[in-house]
Amino acid sequence: MEMEGCNLILKLEGNNPQLAPILIGAHYDGVPDTAAADDNGTAVVALLQLAEMFAQQSLNRSLWLVAFDQEEWGMRGSSALARHLKEQKQPLKLMISLEMLGFTCEVQNYPQPEMYQLFGSKGDYLALVANQEIYLLVQEMNEIFSRHLPTRFLCVPDRGASFPEITLSDHSPFWECGYDGLLLTDTAFLRNPNYHKYSDTIDSLDLDFFTKVVKGLILVTKHLTET
């Protein structure tokens, strides 16, 4: 039986409505019978922090904050919204997907062996993954994040066709609908052994790392909504 879902959308209108909005989203569903602290509790906390920080501020560019449902069932919530926005011919400056933001470890895994040389073998950084068309924008964002914590960024062609591991979050449906999209993540199952397990609990997280991620995210969001 098909399950109905519900996306929760907060639109903070900017002073210049002619500017395309920034959309930042995080899925609020989790795998049944798991604590879901990193996947995706950390991202939901970050999204709520953005709402608290920017709800009372005067914004130049509109900011849309979205809690997506049913990501774990094939990204249904983000797919529905991406298709709707495309049908409405609604432009977006950028879509940012927040996906697992709080885990670090000594050993980082990668989908391709050569990535060890590029990004290092320690899982202590925030990853920024985007379509190649926004390389310069991602560079700007990476520079802001890197003031607070280690980062790595990767811009890929063809909506990540050569890297299926990086298409498994809510940015992917937006890529498919022609929008620029960015994934912010601790690299999920490529790092966190608790992925989709009951052991994905708060005590497994690096809360100092997560705090730095949120601080960086606030500054990045401020930068994006001012320009």
Residue 161 confidence (pLDDT):
83
Crossing angle (nearest 10°) for helices 207-226 and 135-145:
130
Q: What is the mean pLDDT of the chain?
A: 96
Residue 1 confidence (pLDDT):
41
Residue 219 confidence (pLDDT):
98
| Exposure b/e, 141-178, CB count within 10 A at least 16 = b | bbebbbebbebbbbbbeebbeebeebbbbbbbbbbbbe
What does the chain come to in residues? 227
CA 134 to chain centroid:
15
Q: Structure tokens of 203?
A: 């005590």
pTM: predicted TM-score of the whole model, two decimal places:
0.96
Q: What are phi and psi of 191, to 5 degrees?
A: -135, -45
DSSP, collapsed to helix, strand or coil, labels residue 209 as helix
Element (H, E) at 217: helix 207-226
- The residue ranges of the chain whose pLDDT is under 70 are 1-3
**Residue whose structure tokens are 């620029």:** 180
**Which residues, at least 6 apart from 52, have a Cβ–Cβ distance to it below 8 Å?**
none
pLDDT digits (tens, 9 = 90+) for 112-126: 888 999 899 999 999
33 C-beta neighbours (distance < 10 Å), count: 9
Kindly give the residue spans of alpha helices, DSSP state H, lying in 93-206: 115-119, 135-145, 171-176
Residue 3 confidence (pLDDT):
67
Residue 54 confidence (pLDDT):
98
